Amino acid sequence: MCGIVGIISTQSVTKRILTSLKRLEYRGYDSAGISAIKNRKIERCRAAGKLSNLEQALVKQPISGSIGIGHTRWATHGVPSIENAHPHVSGQVAVVHNGIIENYQQLKEELANDGVTMQTETDTEVVAHLANAYLQAGMQPKEMMQALLSKIQGAFALLIMMAQHPDTLLAARKYSPLAIAYGDDEMFLGSDALALAHLSRKISYFEDGDWAIITKDEAKIFNLKNEIVERPSKITDASNKTPDKGKYAHYMEKEINEQPEVIGYTFASYCSPTTGKITLPKFKFCPSELPKLTIVAAGTSFYAGMVAKYWFENLARIPTEVDIASEFRYRNPVLIKNGAALFISQSGESLDTLMAQRYAKENGQNIISLVNVPESTIARESDTVLKTLAGPEISVASTKAFTTQLVTLLTMAVHWGELRGVLSDREAKKITDNLANLPSLLARVLSDDLDWIGASSELALSQDVIYLGRGVNFPIALEGALKLKEISYIHAEGYAAGEMKHGPIALLERGVPVVMVAPHDEWFEKTSSNLKEALARGARVVLLSDDKGIEKLHEAATWIFRMPRVHPILTPILYSLPVQLLAYHTAKEKGTEIDQPRNLAKSVTVE
Ligand code: F6R
């Protein structure tokens, strides 16, 4: 999703803006641009496609100045092109924006009536024209911002630069994230701490409705009521190192391979691997009396929530509902008084999830979040925060964040199961012992000489791939299909294995690959009947199972991936690995852009 950066300094800013934009690349984008002010004139350079194109454009058309703004654009209104790339300029104003100006059509009409011609298809351009018109009418920057913010509706993180005020940068935030970092004689603004941590580690976050007038020496922050406010600064935990792929071809491959380690860290942060004693952060309620848990998330994090529903219901007997974040607040959900709502998000910035969280808070729920970015908005607005220690996840397709979410959720369900008297100490210890052993099993799968490339080279030739799973592994079938779609662009669907016969089986014709997530668990016999039904219709089966399952089904499968035997409750974590690896190798075989797939963004900050 769009990333924004701004620097006001005494020294040249262009190179540093470019470095910050590179640190925001992981969010996903399709064009980029930078503006700076030199001799009270706005200079601008933009390029479609990757930042390397912008770098080349800057060689031909260098720009410099001690105040500048930069942007990576993920297209919403208007195709990805140089014209639609930010910064947008009108007269003496340049603007970068993350979000959507919802009333842009109406504003366009008003501007057209005043004789303004639009140059782009974007919603953002109206902001530049309005700001310029207000300044032309004689307003000072502060008055102009107040007028502008009372006019525009929607979601935004905005940075505005004015040629006639080269010592002032303006910023505003509503819903879309924005941070400020404090330097010596310079100030830095960006979409997140990662964009800024290499410039300064002292960071404050804007709250919704905040806007600011920033010079190189100070930031005056105002709230929605235009009162001056203080936003506490902290030393960010975000790494100042520029992420790198190490020995791996892609971030996704690196992140898949990091899983044994980060799962180990995450688990050890909640549970002593030796005693099995689980320590969770404090909740504002008593888990043993909790009447209902509502889990809300998007995409892969939603699938983690689906797995967690099985765990919370089975291990802790808590009535649990799971909702897609973008749907939750629009269906008037029944939220029980004193209930708890758990929001799962790698980035902690997905706007759908954040808006659902605010809705749950307004409706009296105790808010828990499970995030990988502890400084994120979702974390900051929670009553209790659980962290995954996955480290920065750069690949757009989530892998290690998902499995660390699962480990945390299972640990939480076990602990609550004990508190609610559903699990005995012995039963709980059995699961935590297995969790402590899980990293070594994952490492074994990664080092085993399994023929991922053989199966993937066939999957790469397919039009459609079906993923099936049952019970606690049904969400892993959904996640496997999502991973394949995202990075290889092959149409893939995940189904509950038993649901196949109720419709989707019509899709099966000779040769269609069916990936069966089938550990030898309590549902195995039924899953294997579903596999036979697919086989009878000519499907070619990729079997993900263990010794016992493979012994029973090896003749039915074209490709077999042998997983270690593990406690059945843990299988979704272990079986995430083969579905990730199948997707990764298939995409590699197809030669698609694995780390930044087309159309996708890492941090989805629009609704
Ligand atoms: C899939 C993927 C997305 C995210 C979703 C939610 O590989 O990464 O589906 O899971 O956009 O993002 P977070 O977890 O950051 O809220």
Q: What is the pLDDT of residues 419-434, one digit of tens each?
A: 999 999 999 999 999 9
For the record, the structure tokens of 228 come out as 């001056």
Closest ligand 1 atom, CA of 486?
7
| Residue of minimum CA distance from atom 7 in ligand 1 | 397
Quickly state the pLDDT bin for 93 (edges 50, 70, 90): very high
Over residues 224-251, the pLDDT tens digits come to: 999 999 999 999 887 777 778 989 999 9
Position with higher pLDDT, 86 vs 276: 86
- The residue whose CA is least distant from atom 5 of ligand 1 is 299
Ligand 1 binding pocket includes 369 (Cβ within 6 Å): no
- Cβ of 299 below 6 Å from ligand 1: yes
Q: What integer is the mean pLDDT of 570-578?
A: 98
**Per-residue pLDDT at 603 exceeds 80:** no
pLDDT score, position 328: 96
Closest ligand 1 atom, CA of 302? 10
For ligand 1, say whether the CB of 253 is within 6 Å of any of its atoms. Answer: no
At residue 64, the 3 state secondary structure works out as coil
Closest ligand 1 atom to the C-alpha of 352?
16
Residue located nearest, by CA, to atom 4 of ligand 1: 299
Residues 158/5, Cβ–Cβ less than 8 Å = no
Rounded average pLDDT over 174-188: 95
CA of 430 to the centre of ligand 1 (A): 31
Is the CB–ligand 1 distance for residue 357 below 6 Å?
Answer: no
Distance between CA 347 and CA 394 in Å, rounded? 11
Instruction: List the one residue out of 372, 370, 377, 312 whose CA is nearest residue 342.
Output: 370
Is the C-beta atom of 276 inside 6 A of ligand 1?
A: no
CA of 298 to the centre of ligand 1 (A): 6
Whole-model pTM above 0.85? yes
Q: In what order do the strands lie in the sheet with 202-205?
A: 41-48, 31-38, 67-73, 3-8, 187-190, 179-182, 202-205, 233-235
Neighbours of 140 (CB within 10 A): 12
What is the rounded average pLDDT of the residues 285-297?
A: 96
Taking the CA atoms of 532, 538, 543 and 548 in sequence, report the sign of the dihedral they define. positive
- How far apart are the C-alpha atoms of 433 and 273, rounded to whole Å? 7
The pLDDT value given to residue 134: 97
> 509 vs 495, which has greater pLDDT?
495
Burial group, residue 590, by CB count within 10 angstroms (0-12, 13-18, 19+): middle
Tell me the CB-side half-sphere exposure of residue 553, using CA atoms within 13 A: 32
**Is the Cβ–Cβ distance between 92 and 26 less than 8 Å?**
no
Q: Is 604 in the pocket of ligand 1 (CB under 6 A)?
A: yes
Q: Does 354 contact ligand 1 (Cβ within 6 A)?
A: no
130 burial type by CB count under 10 A (0-12 exposed, 13-18 middle, 19+ buried): buried
Ligand 1 geometric centre to CA of 389 (Å): 16
The rounded Å distance from CA 387 to ligand 1 centre is: 16
pLDDT band at 198 (very low <50, low <70, confident <90, very high): very high
Q: Is 398's C-beta closer than 6 angstroms to any atom of ligand 1? A: yes
Give the pLDDT band of residue 570 (cuts 50, 70, 90): very high
Give the mutation target among 27, 350, 376 for probing the ligand 1 site: most ligand atoms within 8 A of CB: 350
Instruction: Please state, in angstroms and rounded to a whole number, the distance separating the CA atoms of residues 370 and 297.
Output: 10
Is residue 605 scored above 90 in pLDDT?
no
Condensed to tens digits (0 to 9), the pLDDT of residues 43-67 reads: 999 999 999 999 999 999 999 999 9
Compute the distance between CA of residue 508 and CA of residue 513 in angstroms, rounded to an integer: 9
CA–centroid distance, 345 to ligand 1, in Å, is 7
Q: Compute the mean pLDDT over every residue in the chain, rounded to the nearest whole number.
A: 94
* 303 alpha carbon – ligand 1 mean position (Å): 10
27 has a pLDDT exceeding 90: no
Which of 103, 80, 81, 85 lies closest to 95 in space, CA to CA?
85
Active site residue 602: yes
Contacts of 20 (CB under 8 A, 6+ apart): 5, 7, 70, 188, 190, 195, 196, 198, 199
CA 59 / ligand 1 centre spacing (Å) = 35
Q: If you average pLDDT over residues 168-195, what whole number do you get?
A: 95
Q: pLDDT tens digits, residue range 124-156?
A: 999 999 999 999 999 999 999 999 999 999 989
**Residue 570 tokens, joined:** 């843990």
The answer to whether the CB of 353 is under 6 A from ligand 1 is yes
pLDDT at 28: 80
